A and B are shown apart, each in its own frame.
Chain A
Amino acid sequence: MARYDSLLDASGGTPLVGLPRLSPTVPDGAPPVRLWAKLEDRNPTGSIKDRAALFMVRAAEEAGRLRPGDTILEPTSGNTGISLAMVAKLRGYRLVCVMPENVSIERVQLLRMYGAEIIFSPAAGGSNQAVATAKQIAADHPDWVMLYQYGNEANARAHYETTGPELLHDLPTITHFVAGLGTTGTLMGTGRYLREKVDGIQVVAAEPRYGELVYGLRNIDEGYVPELYDATVLSRRFSVGTRDAVLRTRQLVEVEGIFAGFSTGAILHAALAVAHEAVRDGRRADVAFVVCDGGWKYLSTGAYGGTLADAEDALEGQLWA
C-alpha cells in the first residue's frame, strides 16, 4: 500500500531488505545463512519510535487520560521525543521534553521544529540530576501527562501488533530476530509475537555498552531495569561496545549502502555473531535485525569518518544508542 489518509497512518509497514554482501558465505552444499534489515528509518519521523509513540498516545486517549489541549511530558534524549512531538502536533497536544544539555544539536533542532518545548537538565549531574529535575517538574505541573515508555504496555504492544506480524509476513522462514535493548519494548512485543508463531525462534538483544562516564558512580542498588523487561522473552543478550558499534555502522553503509545510526551498528554486530555461529554449526538461518534510525542525527559527532579510535573518542560519554 502506498496511499495513506495522514502521516500517522503511514507509520510501520517498513521494508525488509536482504544483505547479500554482508551475509556470511557458507561452504558448498551447506544451508544458507541470510541477514535481513528491517528499515525502521522509513517511519514518518525516521525512527522505530514512531510505532510506540502512536500506540501510547492512542492508548492514553482511549483510557481518557489525554484530552485535546493536554500537555505531555517526556524525559528523553532520543528518538521517542521526536516521534511524540510529531504525534502530539497532529493530535493536538503540547509536548514538553526534558533532556540533558549535552545532547546533539540535531536533536534539539528537530524537536523545536516539530513544536516541542525543551527543558534542559544540567549535563554534569548525569542521571541523578535528571531524577531531581524530573521530580521538580512533576511536582510543579501535576496535570501534565507522562506516557512512561519504560513501563507502558502500549509500547510493547505496538511491536506485538505491527512489527512482529510484518516480519513474519515478509520472512516466514525467520529463525532469529535481533534488536536493541533500551525500553525493551521492541524486543518484548516482537519477541512475544514471534515466539507464539515460530517454533525455535531465537530472540536476541543487543545493548549498548557506553564509556565509563555514562555509568557514573551510582550505587549498584540504584540500578534500573525497565518494568516492561521480561527476560524469558529473550534467548540471548549481547553487550556491544562503542568500537564494534561504529565499525558495523560504517560497514553497513560501505558494503550495503544503508546509512544508519550507531545503535543499528550494535545490533548488526550481534546479528553477525549469531549468523556466523549458524554457519559454523551448519544450520540454516534467516536473521532479521532492526535498523532503528538513519545516521543523519549523528553526523555532527564526526564518528562516521577518521580512525576507529577517533570515533570512539568522539562518542565517549555520549548516549549513542
Chain B
Amino acid sequence: MAIEVRIPTILRSYTGGAKVVEGAGDTLGDLLADLDSRHAGLRGRLVTEAGALHRFVNVYVNDEDVRFLGALDAKLNDGDSVTILPAVAGGAFGFAAAAAIAAQVSQRAALAAR
C-alpha cells in the first residue's frame, strides 16, 4: 500500500493533470521528496528555500493540518491520505474583497499622513 495524495487544481500541471497521485515516505518531507522524483518541481511549490512549508499552502494528513503534527516531520503510515490545498480563508469571497479594500484604505491613510 502507498500514500494517496490529493493535488489541487493549480498544481496539476506538475502531475500531468492527475487529481490524485501515490507516493511513499515515513514523513511528509520524505513523501514530498519521493513525489518530486516523479513530478519534478512540485516540492518547490510547497516548500520554501528555507525548508519550511509555504505560508499559503495547507497540507492535511487524514484531514488534520500537518502544522500541528510536526509539519514536514509529520509521521506517515501506509494507507494515509494526504490533501494539499491553497490557503483560502473561510468565505474566500469575503476575505479577498475585504483585504483589497483594507489595502486601499491603508494606502490612502499613508498618503494623507505625508
The answer, among A135, A181, A209, A215, for a CB contact under 8 Å with B9, is A215
Structural contact, A225 and B91, CB atoms closer than 8 A = no
Task: State the Cβ distance, B96 to closest chain A Cβ, in Å.
Answer: 3
CA A139 to CA B103, docked complex, whole Å: 11
| Residue numbers in A under 8 Å from B11 (CB-CB) | 220
Asked if A98 lies at the interface with its beta carbon under 8 angstroms from chain B, I say yes
| Residue numbers in A under 8 Å from B96 (CB-CB) | 127-128, 130-131, 134, 224
| Residue numbers in A under 8 Å from B102 (CB-CB) | 146, 148, 151
Interface string of B56-69 (1 = CB under 8 A from A): 11101001110110
Name the residue among A132, A223, A235, A321 with the largest chain B CB count within 10 angstroms. Answer: A223
Structural contact, B98 and A225, CB atoms closer than 8 A = no
Known A75-B93, A77-B93, A146-B102: A237·B87 in contact at CB below 8 Å: no
| Residue numbers in A under 8 Å from B52 (CB-CB) | none
CA A225 to CA B9, docked complex, whole Å: 19
| Residue numbers in A under 8 Å from B55 (CB-CB) | 223, 225
Name the residue among B10, B65, B98, B99 with the largest chain A CB count within 10 angstroms. Answer: B98
CA A144 to CA B4, docked complex, whole Å: 49
CB nearest neighbor in B for A228: B89
Task: State the Cβ distance, A169 to closest chain B Cβ, in Å.
Answer: 28
Task: State the Cβ distance, A107 to closest chain B Cβ, in Å.
Answer: 12
Structural contact, A126 and B95, CB atoms closer than 8 A = no
| Residue numbers in B under 8 Å from A181 (CB-CB) | 90
The answer, among B9, B56, B65, B100, for a CB contact under 8 Å with A238, is B65
Structural contact, B92 and A126, CB atoms closer than 8 A = yes
Task: State the Cβ distance, A280 to closest chain B Cβ, in Å.
Answer: 15
CB nearest neighbor in B for A142: B108
Task: State the Cβ distance, A220 to closest chain B Cβ, in Å.
Answer: 5
Structural contact, B10 and A217, CB atoms closer than 8 A = yes
Task: State the Cβ distance, B113 to closest chain A Cβ, in Å.
Answer: 15
Asked if B77 lies at the interface with its beta carbon under 8 angstroms from chain A, I say no
Structural contact, A146 and B9, CB atoms closer than 8 A = no
Name the residue among B11, B94, B99 with the largest chain A CB count within 10 angstroms. Answer: B94
Structural contact, B97 and A130, CB atoms closer than 8 A = yes
CB nearest neighbor in A for B64: A238
Known A223-B55, A231-B67, A240-B63: A78·B94 in contact at CB below 8 Å: yes
Structural contact, B85 and A138, CB atoms closer than 8 A = no
Name the residue among A78, A130, A183, A238 with the largest chain B CB count within 10 angstroms. Answer: A130
Interface string of A133-176 (1 = CB under 8 A from B): 11101110010001011110000000000000000000000000
Contact residues of A between 56 and 85, Cβ < 8 Å to B: 73-78, 80
Structural contact, B97 and A220, CB atoms closer than 8 A = no
| Residue numbers in B under 8 Å from A241 (CB-CB) | 63
The answer, among A100, A134, A226, for a CB contact under 8 Å with B100, is A134
Asked if A208 lies at the interface with its beta carbon under 8 angstroms from chain B, I say yes
The answer, among B60, B87, B94, B108, for a CB contact under 8 Å with A80, is B94
Known A139-B104, A231-B67, A236-B64: A215·B86 in contact at CB below 8 Å: yes
CA A126 to CA B9, docked complex, whole Å: 15
| Residue numbers in A under 8 Å from B97 (CB-CB) | 75, 98, 121, 127, 130-131, 133-134
Structural contact, A237 and B94, CB atoms closer than 8 A = no
Interface string of A93-128 (1 = CB under 8 A from B): 000001110000000000000000000010000111
The answer, among A130, A209, A223, for a CB contact under 8 Å with B56, is A223
| Residue numbers in A under 8 Å from B93 (CB-CB) | 75, 77, 99-100, 121, 126-127, 130, 319
Asked if B101 lies at the interface with its beta carbon under 8 angstroms from chain A, I say yes
Task: State the Cβ distance, A309 to closest chain B Cβ, in Å.
Answer: 18
Structural contact, A138 and B100, CB atoms closer than 8 A = yes
Residues of B with Cβ closer than 8 Å to A?
A: 8-11, 45, 54-58, 60, 63-65, 67-68, 83, 85-102, 104-105, 108
Residues of A with Cβ closer than 8 Å to B?
A: 73-78, 80, 98-100, 121, 126-128, 130-135, 137-139, 142, 146, 148-151, 180-184, 205, 207-209, 212, 214-226, 231, 234-241, 263, 319, 321
